[in-house]
Amino acid sequence: MPNSAKVGDIICTELIAAAKKDRNILALTTDSRGSASLNPFARALPDQLIEIGIAEQNSVTIAAGLAHSGKRPFAFSPAAFLTMRSVEQVKDDVAYSNTNVKLMGISGGNSYSYLGNTHHSLQDLAITRAIPNLEVYMPADQFQARALMHYLVQSEHPAYVRIGKRALADIYTSEAAAFQRPGQGNVIADHGNDIALVAAGETVQVALDTAAILTQQGIRAQVIDLVSIKPLDTDLLNRVADQTHRIVTIEEHSIYGGLGSAVAEALAPRGDTKVDIIGFPDEPAIAGTQDEVFNYYGIDADDIAARTVRQLTH
Amino acid sequence: MDIQALERKAAEMRKTTWEMIYRAQNGHTGSDLSCADILVALYYQVLHQTAESFSDPDRDRYVQSKGHAVEILYSVLADRGYFPKEDLLTYSQFNSPYIGHPTNHINGIELNTGSLGHGLALSVGIAKAGKLDGRDYHVYTLMGDGEQAEGSVWEAAMAAGNFHLDNLTAIIDHNRLQISGLTVNVMNSEPLADKYRAFGFDVVEIDGNDMRQLVDTLQTRNTPGRPKLILADTIKGKDISFAENRPEWHHKIPTPEQYQQGLAELDEQIGGLVHAK
C-alpha cells in the first residue's frame, strides 16, 4: 500500500518552514484556519497569521494590499468562496494589479460532500483559468504539494491552488518528479499509445486506476498529470496527441470550462484528436461522499474504463 | 505652499481636467471637479511622496478608490512630474496606458482601481503591512459617497477598526450625487459619520472644497489606534456654474459652447486667485 497524506497538512508544514525564514510570508484566513490545516502555523507563527473573519472578498483585497507593500501573503479560504464570491477581487486586485498573492482554495471540488452545492467548487477552474496573469495548480499528492510549495514561496507571480480535503495516496516517489516548473505536466504511466488519460489533483489516482483496468483488457494507456492547469503544458499534450489521437480527461469539476475544456481548446486546432471530457454534468451535484458522487457521475476507474473500451471498439 | 497657492493650483487642475475631457470626449467631469481640492491638498501639501521616490517603501500611499475620477488624478500627477504632461494628450486614445480608470502601468499609481469598493480594503492591506514592518508611512484613500453602497467597503471598514489602523485615513468625496441622482434617493447610506464611528473610526466632517480645512484635517495625526474618516462635503461639478450639483454632469461631455464657457469661468477663477496673491 502506498503512503498517503493530506495535501493541506503538507502545505501548512512547508509554509511554516518558509515563513520561519522569511517573515514577509503571511497566512490569511477567513475563520478557516482549522479547515485549512493552519492551526500549527497559528501556533508556530501567530504574528504571521492574519485573521480576516468570514469575509473572503476582503481577504483577497487586503492580501493584495499587503503584497503591494512587500509581503508574500497566502490567502486561505474554502475554494468555493475564494474563487466565486471573490472573483472580482481576484481579477482586479490580484491578477490585473499583478500583486504577489497566492490564493489557496481549500476543501476544493466536491470535498465538502454532504455540505452541498453552496460549498462545492466545481466551477473554480473555469473561472480562474479565464483570468489573465493567474497561474492555476492542482497538487495530486504530498510530493507534488511539497514541490509546488517550494516554488510558490519564492515565486513572484499570482497563483490559485486548489486543494482537496481528504488524504491522497502517493503518486510520486520524489518531489523532483512531481513538479518542476509552471506549465510542465508529467507522464506518470506509459503503457502504450492506444489512449491517453489526462487528469489533475484527486483524479490522477482515478486515471492511474483506469489505466490498470485497461491494461488487463489489452488497451495500452498513457496517464498524464497536468498539475499546472495554467500555464498548460501544450507541448506535452501535442506529443501525446501525436501518439494516441485519443484523449480522455478526468476532472473533479464541471465538464464546462475546466481541465477537459483546457485540453480540448489546446488540441482542437489539430483536428485529429478526439477528446472525451469526464467530469460533473451541468446540474447541482447529488449529495453523497466524494466516492459515492464520483461513482454516480461515472468519474471512477470502472466506469471510465468501460466507457473507453466501448469507444475504442466502436 | 500657502493656502491661496493651493487654491490656485486646484483651479488650474480643474482647467487641465476640463481640457482633457473635452479633447478626449470622455471622462467623469462632475466627479473630477468635486474632488480636485482633495487631490491638490494631498499631492502638494500632505503626502510624503514624490515622483522620484515613488518606489520608496517609506512613501505615503494614495489609493483612489473612486477610480472614475481619474482625469483629475492624471492632471495632478502630470503637474507633479510623475510623467510628462504631453502624455495627457493620449488620454482615452487607442493603446494608451491613460485609460478611464487608474492602472499601475503609470508612475504614481499604486494599484488598479475602478470597480468600486476595493480601495479601502487595498489600503487596509497596505496599512497593515506598514504596521507589521514598523514603517511610519500613512495611507490615504478616496471613496465616493455612492460607493458606500458596496458591501466590500464595510468589510474593509470593519477590518480597519479591528486592526487599529491609525496609519489609515479614508476620505469620502461627499457630493451627495451619483449617476442616477441624489445618493439618498438611489440607496441611502446615511448617516455615514455614525456608521464609520460604529466601525471604529474617528470621523471628521469638513467642507471638502475648503483648502484650509482640508490641509488642516489631513495633516492632523490620527488618534492612536484609530483609523480616520474625513467626510468631505463637496459640490459635484465644482466651479463650473452649469455643472454644479447636476447629476447628469457625472460623466457628461461639454458641448463646444459649454466648453468655452467653462474655460472662461475657470480662467476667471485662476485670475482672481493670482490677483488676490
Instruction: Say yes or no: A70 contacts chain B, CB-CB below 8 A.
Output: yes
The per-residue pLDDT of chain A, averaged, comes to 97
Q: How many domains does chain B have?
A: 1
pLDDT band at B273 (very low <50, low <70, confident <90, very high): confident
Ranges for all domains in chain A classified under CATH 3.40.50.970: 4-169
CB contact under 8 A, A70 and B162: no
Fold annotation for A4-169:
Rossmann fold (3.40.50)
Give the DSSP letter of residue A49. E
Assess whether pLDDT exceeds 70 at residue B276: no
- Give mean pLDDT, residues B158-170: 98
Per-residue pLDDT, averaged over B193-217, amounts to 98
Kind and range of the H or E element at A96? Answer: none
Question: What percentage of residues in chain A have a pLDDT greater than 70?
Answer: 99
Cis peptide before B57 (omega within 30 of 0): no
| pLDDT value of residue B275 | 66
Query: What domain range is B119 assigned to?
Result: 3-276
Cβ of residue A88 closer than 8 Å to a chain B Cβ: yes
| A176 contacts A209 by C-beta, under 8 angstroms | no
What percent of chain A shows pLDDT beyond 90?
96
Q: Which of A47, A55, A62 comes nearest B125 by C-beta?
A: A62
* Residue reference for cell 494614495: B62
Looking at residue B167, its amino acid is N
Other Cβ atoms closer than 10 A to B187 = 11
In terms of Cβ atoms closer than 10 Å to its own Cβ (0-12, 13-18, 19+), residue B92 is: middle
Helix, coil or strand: residue A208: helix
Mean pLDDT in chain B? 96
How many other CB atoms are found less than 10 A from the CB of residue B269? 19
Portion 38-57 of B in contact with A at CB < 8 A: 57
How far does Cα A141 stand from its chain's mean position? 11
Least CB–CB distance from B125: residue in A47, A55, A66: A66
Give the one of B114, B118, B127 whose C-beta lies nearest to A61's C-beta: B118
Question: How does DSSP classify residue A9?
Answer: H
**A109-161 confidence digits (pLDDT tens):** 999 999 999 999 999 999 999 999 999 999 999 999 999 999 999 999 999 99
Of the two residues A181 and B1, the one the predictor is more confident about is A181
**Does A97 contact B126 at a Cβ distance shorter than 8 Å?**
no
Give the whole-number percent of chain B exceeding pLDDT 90: 96
- Of A26, A62, A98, which is closest to B121 when you measure between CB atoms? A62
Chain A residues in contact with B111 (beta carbon < 8 A): 64-65, 68, 93, 97, 99
- CATH number for the domain harbouring residue B91: 3.40.50.970
Whether A85 contacts chain B with CB within 8 A: no
Segment B110-137, tens digit of pLDDT: 999 999 999 999 999 999 999 999 999 9
Q: What is the mean pLDDT of residues B211-218?
A: 98
**Residue B186 in this model has a pLDDT that exceeds 70:** yes
| Domain boundaries for CATH 3.40.50.920 within chain A | 183-312
Q: Quick one: average pLDDT of A10-15?
A: 97
User: Is A2 a residue whose pLDDT tops 80?
Assistant: no
Residues A110-138, buried b or exposed e (16+ Cβ, 10 A)? Answer: bbbbeeeeebbbbbbbbbbbebeebbbbb
- Confidence (pLDDT) at B201: 98
What count of CB pairs under 8 Å joins A to B?
90
Residue of A nearest to B109 (CA): A97
A58 with B126: Cβ contact below 8 A: no
What are the DSSP calls for chain B, one per residue?
Answer: --HHHHHHHHHHHHHHHHHHHHHHT---HHHHHHHHHHHHHIIIII----STTTT-TTS-EEEESSTT-HHHHHHHHHHTTSS-GGGGGGTTSTT-S--SS--TTSTT--S---STT-HHHHHHHHHHHHHHHT----EEEEEESGGGGSHHHHHHHHHHHHTT-TTEEEEEEE-SEETTEEHHHHS----HHHHHHHTT-EEEEEETT-HHHHHHHHHSPPPTT--EEEEEE--TTTT-TTTTT-GGGGS----HHHHHHHHHHHHHHHHHHHHH-
pLDDT of A1 > 80? The answer is: no
- Inform me whether the pLDDT recorded for B277 exceeds 60: no
Which CATH architecture describes the domain A183-312?
3-Layer(aba) Sandwich (3.40)
